Structure 1
C-alpha cells in the first residue's frame, strides 16, 4: 500500500510540473513537483514519506547537476563576489532573525519555529533541524514553501527591473565608433 501511495504522490508531482511547464512558470520542475505532491497528500489525507534511499539519490542527482554547471570561470569571478556575497548573506540572516523575532513577539509563530521558518537555506535542512530540536516541522516547511514560491515566481520581475536599472543608470554609455 505504501508503494502505491508513493506512486500516486509522484504522479501528482509530474502532472503538476507539466502543468506548470505549460503555464510557463519559472522553475516548473521544482515548484510543480512541490505543489503536485502536496496537493495529492492533502487531497487524500496521506502521510507519504519518500524512502531515504530515494531522497538520497534525488539529492545526489540535483547536486551533480549543479556541480556539473560549475566551471573554471566561476573561480575567476569568486574574488569579485566574495565580499558582496558575504554581505548579502549577513543581511538576509539578520532579516530572517529580525522577522522571526517580530513574528514571535506578535504571537504569529513560536519563537524557534519562527526563526527556522524565516532562515535562508535548504528547506530540508531547516525542517530537519527544527524537528531534531522538537519543533513543528509542518510550520517550518509551510513558511519555506511560501518563501520559495514568492522568490521563484518573482525572479523574472526582479531580473527585468535589474536589467532596466543597469542599462539606465549603471552601464557606461557607449562610445561612438570611428
Structure 2
C-alpha cells in the first residue's frame, strides 16, 4: 500500500488553502522571492523566485493558497505576451519544425516509457497511477484522466508538480551559471508608445482568445487562445505592442506561487520515497530532452537552446516564459509544447488501455 498523500482543498478553483489570507500570504511571499531572484539577476526571476519561496513556505507548513481563477487571469496576460513573439519569419522555419516535431514524438514516447518503468520500480503506485504520472506534460489533464481510470489523483498531481518544479529550477539556473544569462522581464525591451488602440487590441486578444480557447476546449485554453489571437494580430500588423513589464512580472509571481501552492500539505518525512522518485523521473525526462535536442540540432541546424527548451518536460506556460526570458524563439518553443500537449492528450486514453491491460 502506498502512503497517504496530502489532502488539499476539494474545490477545483483552489490550490492549497482556501481564503483571502492564504492567497495574500502566498503573493507576498512570492513577491519577496521575485525581488530576491531579480536582485541575483536570475533569468525569469519573478516566476522562479515566487516558485522557490512559495514551495519552501508550503513544505514549512505555512497556510498559503492560490485561486486558480486568478492564475487563469494572469495566464491570459502571458498568452498575449507570447503571441507578440510571433513574426512572419517563422513561416521560413516551418520546414525544419516538421523534422523537429517528428523527433519530439519519438522523444515523448521514449521519455514516457522510461518514466513509467522508473515509477513502477521505485514506488508502490499501481499501473494506472504510474502511467499517467509518467507523461511529460498536461498536469491537469493527466490528473483528471488518471483519476477517471482509477488512478490516485493526488499521486499523479504530485509527480507532475515536481516535474515542473524540477525543470523550472534546473534550466534557468543552468543558463545562469553556464551561460551567464541575466535576462529579467523588467529589463526586456517593451514598447512604451502604447496608445488606446494598442491597449484595446491587447485586451481584445486576451478576452476573445480566452473565450475561444474555452469554447474549443483547447489544451491550456487560457494561454493558448489569447496567444493565437495575439499572434494573428501581430502577424497581421495590427499592433506591435506588448503588455508592460510590470504587469508581466506580476503575472509571473502568480504563476510561480501557483506551482509552490501545489505542495501544501506535502510531508517530506512521509512522502520522501515518492518525492525522490518523481524528481528522478523529471531528471530522466530532462536528460532525454537534451539527447533528442542534440539529434534534432544535428539534423536541422535549429538553435540548440531553442530546441532544448522546446523539448524540455516543463509546463507550456513555464517553458514558453523561460524561452521569452532567455531570448530564444518563443514561437518555436510554444508550438512544440502545444504539439506535445495535443499528442499526449489525444493518445493517452488509447495507449493506456493497451499498456494497463497487459499481463492481466
TM-score with structure 1 setting the length: 0.71
Aligned counterpart, 1:146: 335
Contact 1:13 1:35 in 2 (8 A): no
Contact 1:21 1:29 in 2 (8 A): yes
Query: Which structure shows the higher helix fraction?
Result: 1
1:21-64 deviations in whole A, cap 9, x for unaligned?
A: 11222321121122122121112263322211100111222334
Q: Which residue of the other structure, out of 113, 116, 124, is the alignment partner of 2:321? A: 124
Whole-angstrom distance in 2 between the partners of 1:97 and 1:142? 19
**Larger displacement relative to structure 2 (74-83 or 142-151):** 74-83
Aligned counterpart, 1:176: none
TM-score with structure 2 setting the length: 0.39
Q: Shift in Å at residue 109 of structure 1? A: 0.9
Aligned counterpart, 2:232: 39
Contact 2:320 2:333 in 1 (8 A): yes
Whole-angstrom distance in 2 between the partners of 1:41 and 1:103? 29
Aligned counterpart, 2:49: none
Cα RMSD (Å): 3.0
In structure 1, the gaps of 5 or more residues are 132-136, 174-178
Q: Aligned ranges for residues 1-178 of structure 1 at < 5 Å?
A: 2-3=194-195, 4-44=197-237, 46-73=239-266, 78-121=271-314, 122-129=319-326, 131=327, 137=328, 139=329, 141-161=330-350, 164=353, 168-169=357-358
Query: Kindly tell me: are residues 36 and 82 of structure 1, through their superposed partners in 2, closer, same or farther at Cα, counting changes over 3 Å?
Result: same
SS at match of 2:248: helix
Contact 2:293 2:308 in 1 (8 A): yes
How many pairs are equivalent? 163
